[in-house]
Structure 1
Amino acid sequence: MSRRVVRQSKFRHVFGQAVRNDQCYDDIRVSRVTWDSSFCAVNPKFVAIIIDASGGGAFLVLPLNKVWQIPENGLDAALSEPVVVLEGHSKRVGIVSWHPTARNVLLSAGNCENKPVFISGCDNQVVIWNVGTGEAMISLDDMHPDVIFSVSWSRNGSLLCTACKDKKVRIIDPRKKKIVAEKDKAHEGARPMRAIFLADGNIFTTGFSRMSERQLALWKSVCVYR
């Protein structure tokens, strides 16, 4: 009889440990709306978190090293204000993603797939922010006629890849505010799909067939990095 040998994971005996209380943020109301999202994005200096708020469209940008400005006479109350509040979306925000190479550049996009169809819950807008100044640098308003399911930066940050409820995958040059390539009906199912840039510039998508069967696909990108 042959015996099947399963190689053990090298991470089998690796355990995480919580940081000290003075390195944690408390009382952050993370959004309770469920969608296909990571709810937060992190770079070496900041964390952006989608939070629960009336009307939607709210998220916090907090410093990881927790640098606070202490009043001259000392503290008389806990500091709870974020470093910057970014205001520009008219409705709910469901996607945040830091630029892979540029410092303090954050992308946000509307995502509200779980809201009733008779409620207009998202603006189908992609905004690229300068977190240092709190200003919107680029706003992509008219490229998505329906809910944006996912947004992914290319490896050098020159292009964006989006998946939309209209079943199209788009490659966008954000600086030119131009769609440089798109794939219609990447997955024909009605359920949400996602698309990401791979390191070689190709696109990987996950979605569903008309029979709600999970599908994976790899697409050759016609775009060339500049």
Structure 2
Amino acid sequence: MKKQCYGLNISACSVSTFTKISALQMSWRSTYRSSKFRNVYGKVGQREACYEGIPITRNVHDNHFCAVNPKFLAVVTESSGGGSFLVIPIYKVGRVDPHHPKICGHQGNVLDIKWCPFRDNIIASCSEDCSVRIWEIPDGGLRRNMTEAQMVLIGHSRRVGLIEWHPTCSGILYSAGYDGKILLWNLEKGEAVKMIDSHSDVVLCMSFSRDGSLLATSCKDKKLRIIEARSGRVLQEAYSKSHRVSRVVFLGNMKHVLTTGLSRWNTRQVAVWDQEDLSVPIIEEEIDGLSGLLFPFYDADTHMLYLAGKGDGNIRYYEVSPEKPHLQYLMEFSSSAPQKGLGVMPKRGLDVGECEVFRFYKLITLKGLVEPISMIVPRKAEIFQEDIYPMTSGAEPALTTEEWLSGIDRGPVLVSLKEKYKQPKPAGPKAAKREKKALAKTMKGFDLLENVSPKSDNEFLRMFYRQQDELKQLQKELRDKDERIKHLELELNNLKNNMTLNLSISNN
């Protein structure tokens, strides 16, 4: 028996198959979850917004070699006779002077750099010379090579490949060395207060929970561990033959961790785990067959996960949820230029007016280029978009070093990004002309009102609202001046501290 369908002869069997396929398509559509981030796209910075002429390191260590905050960009560079890295003010884009001052106090190659989350002028570095060093960068950047660190931390017996600042406590730093040990440093005293010796091989990655009470690690022995950050006690440990772990990240407050690694067929893979039960992954999902390491970046505010492959130019992004299927694929940013590493700008450094929700700084070794990539939600930003900018971690620590060491845990201090919002100006000469005419018309109306007494209620209300607007403008100017005064006071205190330090050094 045959049936006629759109001019084609299809057998009863084919019709049955066609019906099943249609049913599958309908079921796929029903499970698709709409998202306000499904149209997020990657926007590469213009040439004039890039940093050129940087001799980016060619070290094969699996790290990003890049760190960024709202003030500075730091990049590990090629050097002879020791390790060095550049620190460039974030606004100084364009070609970098070949003789630009460097931080060059390490005796071996620099393997990792991280900015302090609470003080934008403080950066930590670790090196093949087995040391961790803390540096203070002056406002405006370096004027000459810096060789003397503010603090030198010695405790590892082999090279140090990884450092992480505590996310909520000031003065606490973790370092992981090739000796298989993790050291917890109290920077106020300049000493290690705890050694975590529970790894049988090199630690590849460290990630803190939202409040900093737990530490997740991946190791060269392919095991995933959940560790109590303060005591160093291993709470959970997992090894999976179907998923060899290489990188790990906590998924905010979801009680889940995510890992990237390789499947038993050597394909790149991502897995989600319950942090309280690591017996088996909740889900495992294969990504592709490329060989480069897959770096995970998680944004706890938008619940978006970015997967970037080292050595390729792709950045895939997903939305993460505590319910199944846990990972909802959104889109992929593609580029022909391979990435050596990626720095991530903190949320307080993003352009809120452009609806920017994430920003990478991509290292391109062959071109000596650092290229910003903005992840943007396509919206008209006439008003502040509160749904994509919830309260986020600010630059104030939630705990002092003494409080945290005494056993107190506390989440990050949250701030609103609404104060950073500036309504975008209309683009183009015609729009500017229209704006100028509207402004002139408004000012003309104000001039007329100056000589008009409030003979009616409407005129009185107009004068009242105008005075309110003027008062708001004066209040804004006053707030700006107060912020400027605070900034100048901080600079003055820094100068005094530097002078005191130099005098003490000269006296000694």
**Cα shift at 1:153:** 1.1
2:268: which partner in 1? 214
Q: What secondary structure, in the 3-state scheme, does the structure 2 residue paired with 1:212 have?
A: coil
User: What do residues 60-87 of structure 1 show as CA deviations (whole Å, max 9, x unaligned)?
Assistant: 2111337xxxxxxxxxx97621111111
Quote the residue 2:246 is aligned against: 193
CA distance in 2, matches of 1:87, 1:31: 14
Please point out which of 104, 108, 133 is paired with 1:27. 104
The structure with more radius of gyration: 2
Identity of aligned residues (%): 32
Counterpart check, 1:148 vs 2:170: no
Work out which of the residue numbers 96, 99, 122 in structure 2 matches 1:46: 122
Per the alignment, do residues 193 and 134 of structure 1 end up closer, same or farther by CA in structure 2, a change over 3 Å counting?
same
Residue 137 of structure 2 corresponds to which residue in structure 1?
64
CA distance change for structure 1 residues 7 and 79 in 2, over 3 Å: closer, same or farther?
A: closer
Q: Structure 2 CA distance, aligned partners of 1:48 and 1:162?
A: 20
Shift of 1:92: 1.4
For residues 26 and 172 of structure 1, do their structure 2 counterparts lie closer, same or farther at Cα, with a shift above 3 Å needed?
Answer: closer
Aligned to 2:49: 15
1:159 aligned partner? 214
Query: 1:75-114 maps to which residues of 2 (within 5 A)?
Result: 80-110=147-177
Counterpart AA for 2:248: A
Deviation of 1:175 (Å): 2.1
Aligned to 1:139: 195
Q: Is the 8 A contact 1:207 1:216 kept in 2?
A: yes
In 2 relative to 1, CA 30–158 (structure 1 residues): closer, same or farther, beyond 3 Å? farther
TM-superposed CA distance for 1:25, in Å, is: 3.5
1:216 is displaced (CA, Å) by: 0.6
Matched to 2:224, the amino acid is V
Is 1:176 the equivalent of 2:252? no
- Give the deviation of 1:28 after TM superposition: 5.0
2:264 is paired with a residue of what secondary structure? Answer: coil
Q: Which amino acid aligns with 1:60?
A: R
Q: Distance in 1 between matches of 2:213 and 2:240?
A: 25
Size of the aligned set, in residue pairs, is 188
Paired residue for 1:114?
A: none
Is the 8 Å Cα contact of residues 243 and 269 (structure 2) preserved in structure 1?
Answer: no
SS at match of 2:217: strand
Under a length normalisation based on structure 2, what TM-score does the superposition of the two structures give? Answer: 0.33
Contact in 1 for aligned 2:105/2:146 (Cα 8 Å) = no
Please report how far the alpha carbon of residue 45 of structure 1 lies from its aligned counterpart in structure 2 after TM superposition.
Answer: 3.9
Inter-CA distance 221–8: structure 2 relative to 1 (3 Å threshold):
closer
Structure 1 window deviating more from structure 2 (179-188 vs 10-19): it is 10-19
Letter in 2 for 1:151: M
- 1:51 shift after superposition: 3.0
Q: Is the 8 A contact 1:171 1:179 kept in 2?
A: yes
Rounded Cα–Cα distance in structure 2 between residues aligned with 1:7 and 1:146 = 39
Residue in structure 2 matched with residue 113 of structure 1 by the alignment: none
1:204 maps to 2:258: yes
Q: Deviations over 1:145-189 (max 9, x none)?
A: 122111111111111000112221110003233111122227544
> CA–CA distance in 1 between the matches of 2:204 and 2:169?
24
Alpha-carbon distance, 1:103 to partner:
0.6
Matched, 1:125 2:181: yes
Between Structure 1 and Structure 2, which shows a larger proportion of helix residues? 2
